[in-house]
Amino acid sequence: MKKILPYLLTGFILLGLGHFLTAQELYTDSQYESEETIDDSRFGMGLGIKMSTFGPGVEVIAAVTPKLHLRLGGTYMDYTYHYSDKNVEVNGSAESHLSSISLLANYQLARIFFVSGGFLYNMNEIGLKGFFTKSMTVGSMEVSPEKIGSVNLKIKPGSSLTPYAGIGLGRSLSKNGIVSFAFELGAAFHGSPKVELGATGMLEPTGSEEQRQILEDNLSGFTIYPMLNFQLSFRLL
Amino acid sequence: MKIKHNLAIIGSSLLLFSLFFISSCNKLENVADGAKLIIDYNLIETTVDVQLYDAATGDLIGRDGDASVKVKITGPDKDGVMDITGVQNNDMLYYSQRGMLGLALIPEAAYTPSETRPIVFNIVTDLSGYLSTSQKITVVSEGRNQYRINMVRLDNPPQGVTVNRETGVATAIDGRIQDPATVSTPTGKAKIEIPADIVMRDAGGNPLSGSINVDIVHFDNTSDEALAAFPGGLMPTVTRSDGSVADGMFYSAGFLAIEITDASGRHAATFEEGTVRMEAVVSPETYNPETNGAVAAGDIVPVWSYNENTGEWKEEGVSTMQNIDGQLIADFELTHLSYYNFDWFYGEYCYQGAAFQFVADNPISGCYVMGGTMYRQSDNAYLMGIYMWVCPGEPVYTSYAPSGIPVKIVWNESNYPNITIAPSSQPTLISDLCAGGPIQINILNNTSNTTTVTIDVEAYCASQPNVIIRPSFSAWYRPISNWNWNPVAMENGYAEIMGVEIGGTYIVGIYYDNQWYETEVVVTDDEYTYVGIDLPADVCNEVFGY
């Protein structure tokens, strides 16, 4: 999975750029249309695929008016990075679980500039785990890795229901064409993150409530999760 | 106009987002600030806390930090013994601090104690000016074990122990004694006769030379104080005359410790071309288990020699009681020098005795030590001191208990102001420690004006301030005006001390890697205090590798 992701991402970007140009061309074709001549009541529907900091996902887009688009989407990605240090016989892993369900509204402020807002059901979770791989000698005692124990850390958003605001270039749904591309920069206001800390064996006190609170306090300022989104959309109606 | 409006919106939006992200990135740099790697040093499952007392004064030896007892671990399971930090010293030598020593068993299957696989070793103590002694330790289950060892100071012995230290009693040339000599204890209860022409050598085979000095120490077998300081205790491991090894119990008829040294400090160990005669007066109150009555002339009593290096006794022969001038006398011809003991040996015992259940009239919140003295009912003779680590609701067992013998336990006055033994349990009579059901001990818990405090102990290395070690072993405390230290169990750095008086000042200490750390605590309403220990660099390096 992790080998495929960079290619997918690159493919999306290249494809998106190509269609961005196409979409802009389409837009350019219609740029001479007077704003007043556009039928503001024209309803449209489309599907989008995206790659974002919440992971890859899909979207259903409804153009309520040419300027106002409603977006219902979802993202999902699991990624695990394994770490090993043979010098100190420590193994570790970092797991990121990124997923969300979003309900957003885009308002096209200018031809290729839009603002976006709404809510995400934020299911992101970052986990860190560290453990020894070999026994340690403490004084005259041989201490097994199980006895030494492990430390587990999980960071979750402070609030699952997360307000979101963003700005973007392009369109989430082409006004007149089929394909459109959008690049979006935004922020999900998830509140102070929640920390779950656990430890086993000799390291068990490391996972105390006091320690957990220290980490949570340190993370309390990290109330924003940045959103970077590349999206390719196809107008169906 | 419209373009300007849009640009203003776009510009404002970008600025706002930039501020959000910059703010977030600043916070991320300090995520782990203040958090520490905390290690619960709870590797050890079985501890053996030893307190070394002066038998006469009842004070911990070196309680002011002015003396340290050298302790050697010997016996069949010595390789499973280490100090409380998990370090096994070279030659199994350890040193007490403030009269206390923290030992533990290596937490491996080979040294996991059980009733079917007791862990047995000896603690052999040595300090200049004191009679070397030992204590046999038998551990039958995991947990905490408390031992008290009484050492006899030669210039201030306890009641029942008499000492004579004579210098220049004879002269030796190339090991050969030139003139006969007799040395007696001040009470005349023991003496040795050194013949002329006997040759004395030390353990290395070197002849003694010059002025000969003699120390002779006699232990009265009818004195509890003397028996409580009996080297090796009265429940020893012995080697019988046929070479077999046995565990069991002594019925003592007296004990002599003899040391002969020359001007160079060489200790006589072996004799050639003659023997040294020792003689002891035996109290007519002495109980002979073979006749089930008082000892009498003609009774035969085995003679045992003591190996102070291993803490074990060896059967050397027998002595026949003689009535000389109205006194019962036991004597023996010595071919080597050691401690000698006239004892009948009784080999019936069990590794784990009956369960003791301590029942309090009011609930007790923590664990505590109950101490007492065990006597044989048949002759009211001292058997052993017992120290039990009592936790509410948990049974306590005696280890290595005499079997088939009625005993009684006289409980010591409690070191805890809130705890006393109920009259119904003082003394506690037991028909057989190795048979029967649980033995209930009733105690009274007076909770007025006492409280429970929590001590929080953390150890750390200066080189790694973000790594905290929370010890799990014994801590000790005492009122500032009292030298009776009470042990407390510490787990994950927390120790609960119950029965302390509100407003009182206490000293709390721990023994850690041959060092003693203590702090003064005033008990207040907050019921909590913190003790931080900055570990020496060598300890950090030895135990944790950094």
8 A C-beta contact, residue B485 and residue B497: no
Distance separating alpha carbons of residues B253 and B329, to the nearest angstrom: 10
Q: What is the pLDDT of residues B123-168, one digit of tens each?
A: 999 999 998 888 888 898 888 888 899 999 999 999 999 999 999 9
8 A C-beta contact, residue B257 and residue B307: no
**What is the arithmetic mean of pLDDT over B263-282?**
92
B443 strand-pairing partners: B360, B421
ipTM of this model?
0.72
* A202 contacts chain B (CB < 8 A): yes
Per DSSP, the three-state class of A73 is strand
Of the partner residues A141, A206, A211, the one whose CB lies closest to the CB of residue B107: A141
Contacts of B37 in chain A (CB under 8 A): 151, 203, 206
* B19 contacts chain A (CB < 8 A): no
Contacts of A222 in chain B (CB under 8 A): 24, 27-28
Residue A118 has pLDDT above 90, yes or no: yes
Q: Say which residues have a Cβ less than 8 Å from residue B490's Cβ, sequence separation at least 6.
A: B455, B457, B471, B472, B473, B474, B475, B510
Distance separating alpha carbons of residues A107 and A172, to the nearest angstrom: 10
User: Does an H or E element contain B135, and which?
Assistant: strand B133-139
The alpha helices in chain A, defined as continuous H runs, are 4-29, 145-148, 209-219
Contact B544 A208 (CB under 8 A): no
Q: What is the pLDDT of residues B200-218, one digit of tens each?
A: 999 899 999 999 999 999 9
Q: How far is CA A5 from the centre of its chain?
A: 14
Burial of A39 (C-beta count, 10 Å sphere; 0-12/13-18/19+): exposed
Residue A14 is classified by DSSP as H
* A6 contacts chain B (CB < 8 A): no
Chain B: residue nearest A147 by CA?
A: B43
Q: What's the CA dihedral at A151, A156, A158, A163 to 10 degrees?
A: 160
Q: Say which residues have a Cβ less than 8 Å from residue B143's Cβ, sequence separation at least 6.
A: B45, B46, B47, B389
Select the more confidently predicted residue: B30 or B36: B36
**Residue carrying structure tokens 């806390």:** B49
Interface test with A, best of B30, B40, B467 (most A CBs within 10 A): B40
Least confident residue range of A6-15, B58-67, B151-160, B274-283: A6-15
8 A C-beta contact, residue B104 and residue B43: no
Q: What is the pLDDT of residues B252-261, one digit of tens each?
A: 899 998 999 9
What radius of gyration, in Å, describes the C-alpha atoms of chain A?
23
* DSSP string for residues in A143-188: E-HHHH-EEEEEEE-S-SEEEEEEEEEE-SS-SSSSEEEEEEEEEE
Select the more confidently predicted residue: B205 or A89: B205
pLDDT, averaged across chain B: 85
Distance separating alpha carbons of residues B141 and B396, to the nearest angstrom: 10
Distance separating alpha carbons of residues B504 and B522, to the nearest angstrom: 6
Q: Phi and psi dihedrals of A2, rounded to 5?
A: -70, -20
Contacts of A203 in chain B (CB under 8 A): 37-40
Res A5: pLDDT: 39
B136 strand-pairing partners: B122
Distance separating alpha carbons of residues B445 and B447, to the nearest angstrom: 6
Q: How far is CA B5 from CA A51, A109, B430, in A?
A: 31, 10, 100
> Could you tell me the two tokens for A184?
């979006």
Of the partner residues B17, B108, B542, the one whose CB lies closest to the CB of residue A185: B17
Chain B: residue nearest A146 by CA?
A: B43
Distance separating alpha carbons of residues B544 and B468, to the nearest angstrom: 12
Cβ atoms within 10 Å of B362's Cβ, excluding its own: 11
Contact B21 A224 (CB under 8 A): yes
Per DSSP, the three-state class of A17 is helix
Q: How far is CA B379 from CA B50, B82, B252, B300, B348, in A?
A: 29, 39, 11, 18, 17
Per DSSP, the three-state class of A46 is strand
Cβ atoms within 10 Å of B393's Cβ, excluding its own: 10
* A167 contacts chain B (CB < 8 A): yes
Contacts of A142 in chain B (CB under 8 A): 108
Assign B172 a pLDDT band (cuts: 50, 70, 90). very high
Q: What pTM value is reported for the model? A: 0.74
Q: How far is CA B192 from CA A105, A116, B169, B304, B323, in A?
A: 109, 107, 12, 16, 18
Per DSSP, the three-state class of A18 is helix
Distance separating alpha carbons of residues A191 and A212, to the nearest angstrom: 17
Distance separating alpha carbons of residues B97 and B84, to the nearest angstrom: 13
Per DSSP, the three-state class of A4 is helix
β B439-445/B349-360 pair status? parallel
8 A C-beta contact, residue B348 and residue B402: yes
> Could you tell me the two tokens for B51?
């307190």
Interface of B with A in 67-86 (CB under 8 A): 82, 85-86
* A208 contacts chain B (CB < 8 A): yes
Contacts of B13 in chain A (CB under 8 A): 115, 167
Of the partner residues B33, B43, B85, the one whose CB lies closest to the CB of residue A143: B43
Distance separating alpha carbons of residues B545 and B412, to the nearest angstrom: 44
Q: What is the pLDDT of residues B398-432, one digit of tens each?
A: 887 888 889 999 999 888 888 899 999 999 999 99
Q: What is the pLDDT of residues B506-526, one digit of tens each?
A: 888 877 766 778 888 888 766
